[in-house]
Structure 1
């Protein structure tokens, strides 16, 4: 079983750094119309390059839940922790999952006890779920030797937010236990970003949430950027105005997306989408009056 999983962990080289995609679960077809309501079948059909990898021929978007793991500057890093197992969630696609995520993470060479740093792009249920796991009826940190890191603006926003019960439940089982264990750090992320280790930077990408951040990797002339949810799907490269129904600030989200895509277009930076279906990664190139993703298949 371990050998089978190990051979199925996709990866990309970024200079001397190998970035592994750790799969959790494909998201159901109903996710696209709910999450990106303006990405209608007609809009999707107008972008032939989306087929067959990122959308089917009926215009239904393909989306995934996965994390990224890599070693940089001696640190074993995990970016976002997916939905998690056994979590009580209002979204039926996320409720009480039973996946082999931790086995896949271990097969990639990152057993939970070995992880040094967990970067949370933002504090939504499908990005923090594996922060914790159930041990004898209690939610305990999955990565006990790690620091969990998110932006200070993100944590402070949710601290003052009038949460509905489903979101309170997510904080109770996936965020607060990490805080109570003394493992959650928050950091100011200025407009120009902040370097947290050699070759590892956090970039502010607000809009989806106020403190949302993207993760930039550089090594020996190679560069990559992990999106979090500032871009949910490659259709947003062609139509940056297409936003998510759960964006806190839709105008800011669109502005962030346009600025980010403009900075990446025509460069060799590898864009790694946190919800992009395989091939997941690619380079941003100019296309018509916006952009498209030029896929870079995993090794």
Structure 2
């Protein structure tokens, strides 16, 4: 599935790998169904289904900016995922979707990972003759320096494919370790948003007077704009992750900026507003 929008002169295309229902308690340590019920008017139908499950999307965003084709995050890939077996061995459907959207692996100039958890780095590499090699041979892969060094030091967490989806890219000489405010082009730069992981970044787009931001995993589901204190099961530093969500929410609500949720279902993007004491995320259709 591919969805396309434009932010000024920047083209943004969503290429989805999978969309699956997840129970609230499966995603959040301390979810409260009353919050979903109180906000069902805007959560449904894209973000909450009739059975009370949440919709979780795994997708990449392909940006075209100033002659560069940039892929933000690379989903799960075709590999075993021991901690979540049902997410393993997904086949090559994502590459088929990418081709249907008009991109071959050779067309990607930059691969940018918001962080290095397994569901954001999977298509960094493919298995060829028993070895994991970079999927996008003409690309420079951008990894946050803080993020890379944290996982490279042996930290434990959801970066369970670091050894086959991240390190081989550096060993192939295709990776650059960058600062958390790195400018990718004149229209695209990184914003630090730590907490989910130590070096987590979001991606800001500014072009021809229009603005957008790609969240990464600072927020997994728009309900967290209402409940930023909810701990996501993979948050590395929950208090810091919550503080980052509050800062993001306060910065971008009612600003008119288009927010792309890295795991949001439906069109994945929309606007955040704060009216009469309610935080509402309205999907852009």
Query: What's the TM-score, normalizing by structure 2?
Result: 0.94
The answer to whether structure 1 residue 267 and structure 2 residue 259 are counterparts is no
Residue 167 of structure 1: how far off its partner (Å): 4.8
1:18 corresponds, among 11, 17, 21, to 11
SS in 1 for 2:83: coil
The structure-2 alpha-carbon separation of the partners of 1:167 and 1:217, relative to structure 1 and needing over 3 Å to count, comes to: closer
CA deviation after TM superposition for structure 1 residue 20, in Å: 0.4
User: Which residue does 2:51 correspond to in 1?
Assistant: 58
Residues 195-214 of structure 1 mapped to structure 2, 5 A cutoff: 195-214=183-202
- The residue that corresponds to 1:36 in the other structure is 28
Match among 268, 277, 280 for residue 292 of structure 1? 280
Q: What are the residue-to-residue correspondences of 1:127-138 with 2, within 5 Å?
A: 127-138=120-131
- Tell me the C-alpha RMSD between the 2 structures: 1.7
Deviations 1:161-193 (A, max 9, x none): 3437x855x12211111111011111122xxx3
Contact 1:237 1:290 survives alignment (8 Å): no
Tell me the CA shift for residue 59 of structure 1: 2.3
Partner of 1:155: 148
Query: SS of 2:147's equivalent?
Result: helix
The unaligned stretches of length 5 or more in structure 1 are: 1-7
Give 1:66 shift. 0.3
Residue 109 of structure 1 is matched in structure 2 by 102
Describe how 1:140-179 pairs up with structure 2 within 5 A: 140-163=133-156, 167=159, 170-179=161-170
What's the counterpart of residue 181 of structure 1? 172
Q: 1:121 aligns with which of 114, 117, 120?
A: 114
The equivalent position to 1:47 in structure 2, one of 39, 47, 64, is: 39
Gap regions ≥5 residues in structure 2: none
1:243 aligns with 2:234: no
CA contact (8 A) 2:46 2:265 kept: yes
Aligned pair count?
A: 284
Shift of 1:153: 0.8
Residues 118 and 42 (structure 1), Cα distance of their counterparts in 2 relative to 1, 3 Å cut: same
TM-score by length of 1: 0.90
Report the CA distance shift for 1:22/1:114 in structure 2 as closer, same or farther (over 3 A).
Answer: same
